[in-house]
Structure formats: C-alpha cells, structure tokens
Amino acid sequence: MSTTELLRREWTSFRRPGRLIALASAALIVIALSLLSTLNSHSSCPGPCPAVPVAGDGSIVSDRFWFLHRDLGREGSITVRMTSMTGTITYPPPNHDQIVAGLVPWAKAGIIVKDGVRQGSQYAALMMTGGHGVRFQYDYRHDVAGSAGGVSAQSPRWLRLTRSGNMITGSESADGSRWRTVATTTLDGLPDTVQVGMFATSPGDLTLREIGLGGAVEEVRFTQAAGVFDNVSVEGGGTGTWDSVSVGEMNQTDWEKYHNASGAVEKGGVVTISGTGDIGPIGEEGGRTIEIMLLGLPVALIILVIVAARYGARTAGDSSSRKSIVARALAVAGASFVTGLVAVGVALYAGRASLRANGVVVPSLPVPTGARLIVGLAVVLALCAVVAYGLGLRLGRGRSAILIGVALIALPYAVTAFPLLPDAVSDWLLRLTPAAGFAVKQTMVEYPQVTEHYAPSAGYFPLPWWAGLTLLCAYTVLSMLIAVGRKQGEKTDWR
C-alpha cells in the first residue's frame, strides 16, 4: 500500500463523529472564552484615554517625565552638577498605610536631548538612578552603565550631553574637570533644533503579594523622584528661554494634587525637578493581553490529550506495522494542528477587535509574531496530541494514558498559567515537561531597566520559544520510539 493510501486509510479510521465533535468543542471553547474575557475588559479611563506613546519602530513605550527644556542646535552641549536625588513612595508594604521617603531602583533624574516634547520621540539621556548609578539611555530599549553609587552634596555628580549633528555623547565627572565618556550614540533623523534640559521621573513601586499555594500577584504604588541641579550651562546652537512642561499626563494623583505636585522650581541658580512615570520600553509587549485571549487553551489541551490517548489505546491491540503507527500519529497530529490553527487564529484576532472596541489599548502584533503565535501553538497542540497518542499505544489502557497524559502535559501548563504556584516551581515545570513547548506564545521581553514581574503567570516563559519547542519535540520522538518499540516487541514475542 502506498504512503498516500495508508494516510487516507488512517485518517478515515480516525475521523469518527465523536472525535470530530470533541475537536470542534476544543476550538469553540478557546474562541468562546477569548470573547467572554475580552468583552468584559474595558478601559479604566473616566473619559477618552490619553494617546499611547509609540516609538519610531511602532512599539508602545513608556515616556512620561517632567521636563525643563530649551532649544539646542546641531552643535552644542548641556552641563549640570547634580547635588541631590530624593523620592517618595506612597503606601508601601507591609501595611500599605504610610508615605515614606525613598527611591525605587529605576527612579531617574538627569539631563536629556529629545526630538521635541512629543511622547515616543527620539531621545538620549544621562541620568542618576535610584539604585543603579549613572546610566546613559537612548531610544527606550538601550541602556549603558556609568559609574556606580549615589549622589549627595558631599559627592555631587557632574553630567554632560554633547550633540554633534546626529551624534550624542554622554560624559560624567566627579569634579567638573576630569571627564569620562559613558557612551555615544547616533540618533538618525534628528532635526536641526531639538530640546535639551533636565528631567525627573519615577516608575511605580512593584511588590508581589502571595496567593494560592505560593503564587504571586503584582501590586504597584505611586512614586515620585526629585533631582537638584546647579551650575547649569548650555553652549552652542541654542536660542530661546527655558520652558517647564510635563511630557505625558502628570499631577493627576491625590499625592500630586494635595501634597507635592510634580514640576520644576528655580531659586538662586538651583533647580529642583520632580516627576513621576518612566522613560523606556514596555517589557510586556502584549504578554498579558495574549494570556487573556487564550484562557481556554488549557481546556482545549486537555480535550486533545484525552482524544489522542484514547485513540492510541484503542489501536494498541491491532497488529500494525511501524508505517501504520506513524500514519496514525500523523492523522492525530493533523487533526490537532487544524483545531489549534482555527482556535488560536480566531481567538487572537476576534479578541483583539473586542478589546479595541472596549477602548483598551492593544499592543501591536507584527505579522511574524502573529504567525509564530498561531502556527506555533497549532504545532505545539499537535505534538502534545502525538505524545498522548504514544502513551495510549504504549500502555494499551485509555484511562491510564489519559491520567498520565494530563498530568505530564496539560496539568503543568494549566497550573503555571495562573498565579497558583511559586514562580520558581512554575519555572521548573516549564523547563522539564512537554508544557515547555507553549513558550512559542511568549511575547513578553525582559529588559534589565524595566521593573516587571517576569513569571509564567504573567506570560513570561523561562525558555526561549525555540528551546521549549525543541524539548517538546524530544518528548514526542521519545514517546513514539517507546510506542513503536513495544509494538515491535509484541510481534517478536508472537513469532
């Protein structure tokens, strides 16, 4: 019998009404839960939400800070001495009932060159941070370390940004005489006149609250940072007066309204800038949004495992050649692949449309990323089904195969998709079990300069997508080798 005829025969054998109904139900569950979860998600803004900062590459970024600025031409520099950096954290743990002095590690205050005051525009900045010393950052994703340590009146820090055309150089000094270059970058397409000045910003204070069996959910509190500068000097190519503005909305919280509004104050040549927010990438990049739209995936996975394991157990007693076993595995894989392709494709695009209709900001989904999500998850579901089929064929008992398949494949993915287990336990489950293959749906990017909860329950996988898929492929090959070996052993014994 030819390969084509064999595949057609095994597909005909597999496509019983009960199995097709189960596969259709799996796809419908993914789609239905996606629509239910996204229809119940609404914008929290009292009115129209402010515009989302979008960088030149199309990615959504953080870009909110207080800015005291003036014009700078194609050749010039700004030099300041920074003598103090302080901050406030509202309602920190353990009791969440105090306002305390303090800086979060990535609070920032310093000097910046920026293409206007539009959020998302190009920039290069040299700054002091709350816990990471001097940093040179540019265009949101890039971060270069300078000297370590803090800043005070006893140990001030001199900062300088120099522009030469599109080239920006950041330098620091302890005494204002001996300078050290921190980094240099080229910002292509800068206009002849840019904005230069002092800024301050401070991201939320992130802590984790334990729930479940040791899982964690994020809690974020308002923070504010203030930098004190003197010896401010701007040289070359600049005209105009100093302007004080908020890049992005500010002074909206009760703390800013009634206690300490963000802004800039100048007195006797000393400038104090206070602000809140952040300048940098958003590590999430749609990770949580993807999780919301694929809540039904664990349920669909369980259904596919049950169908494949039972089919493997039903055919275990047949006198089959190795070629027939492979053809049956391909039939299981093909049916599961199509199920996943339809379910994930419809869930993602219908869910995104639903979120947009509700006023929720949805991160962009580039075509290559969308293709990896849809096709990759369909491949993962197909491979998981083949593993379950191999278990059914090896054990010859449907219930045992289902129990082991669910425990080995579906359960690790299901329990790590929610903040149930400690992050370390979830990480290891997704490094060692077939559920590692679901790393193909990861869109969350880890940036060292972004404070974020990088955990499976938040959409972050410990392995790269290709490594997780490789591990799942290894499980699939092993499962089929064991199953085929058993069948060949039975034939030898019979002879």
Domain boundaries, the chain: 3-40+285-494, 61-281
Give the span between the Cα atoms of 401 and 394, in whole angstroms. 8
Evaluate whether 380 touches 340 at the Cβ level (below 8 Å): yes
Task: Give the count of alpha carbons within 13 A of 333, CB side only.
Answer: 17
442-468 residues labelled b (16+ CB within 10 A) or e (exposed): bbbbebebbbbbbbbbbbbbbbebeeb
Question: For every residue of the chain, which 3-state class applies, written as one string?
Answer: CCHHHHHHHHHHHHCCHHHHHHHHHHHHHHHHHHHHHHHCCCCCCCCCCCCCCECCCCCEEEECEEEEEEEECCEEEEEEEEEEEEEEEECCCCCCCCEEECCCCCCEEEEEEECCCCCCCCEEEEEEECCCCEEEEECCCEEEECCCCCCCCCCCEEEEEEEECCEEEEEEECCCCCCEEEEEEECCCCCCCEEEEEEEECCCEEEEEEECCCEEEEEEECEEEEEEEEEEEEECCCCCCCEEEEECCCCCCHHHHHCCCCEEEEECCEEEEEECCCEEECCCCCHHHHHHHCCCHHHHHHHHHHHHHHHHHHCCCCCCCHHHHHHHHHHHHHHHHHHHHHHHHHHHHHHHHHHHHCCCCCCCCCHHHHHHHHHHHHHHHHHHHHHHHHHHHHHCCHHHHHHHHHHHHHHHHHHHCCCCCCHHHHHHHHHHCHHHHHHHHCCCCCCCCCCCCCCHHHCCCCCCHHHHHHHHHHHHHHHHHHHHHHHHHHHHHHC
Identify the pLDDT of residue 407: 96
Q: Which amino acid belongs to residue 96?
A: H
Work out the number of other CB atoms within 10 angstroms of the CB of residue 105: 13
> In CATH, what number does 61-281 get?
2.60.120.200
Which residues have C-beta within 8 Å of that of residue 116, sequence separation ≥ 6?
194, 195
Q: Are 359 and 49 in contact (CB under 8 A)?
A: yes
What residues contact residue 115 under an 8 Å CB cut-off, 6+ apart?
Answer: 121, 122, 123, 187, 190, 191, 194, 195
> What are the C-alpha distances in Å from 134 to residues 106, 178, 277?
11, 16, 18
Tokens 């509202």 belong to which residue? 90
- Residue-by-residue pLDDT tens, the chain, 495 positions: 688 888 888 898 898 999 999 999 999 999 999 999 888 877 666 666 677 888 988 888 999 999 999 999 999 999 999 999 999 999 888 888 889 999 999 999 999 999 999 999 999 999 999 999 999 999 999 999 999 999 988 899 999 999 999 999 999 999 999 999 999 999 999 999 999 999 999 999 999 988 988 999 888 999 999 999 999 999 986 677 899 999 999 999 999 999 999 999 999 999 999 999 999 998 654 557 788 899 999 999 999 999 999 999 998 777 567 888 889 999 999 999 999 999 999 999 999 898 888 877 777 788 888 999 999 999 999 999 999 999 999 888 889 999 999 999 999 999 998 899 999 999 999 999 999 999 999 888 889 999 888 999 888 999 999 999 999 999 999 999 988 876 555 554 444
- Smallest CA-to-CA distance from 299 within 2, 31, 12, 8 is with 31
Distance CA(222)–CA(99), nearest Å, equals: 10
pTM above 0.75, yes or no: yes
Residue pair 324/6 in contact (Cβ under 8 Å)? The answer is yes
Say which amino acid occupies 141: R
Residues with Cβ within 8 Å of residue 50, at least 6 apart in sequence: 248, 249
Closest CA to 418 of 462, 456, 468: 456
> What are phi and psi for residue 214, nearest 5 degrees?
125, 5
- Per-residue pLDDT, 493: 46
Residues in the chain: 495
Residue type, 463: L
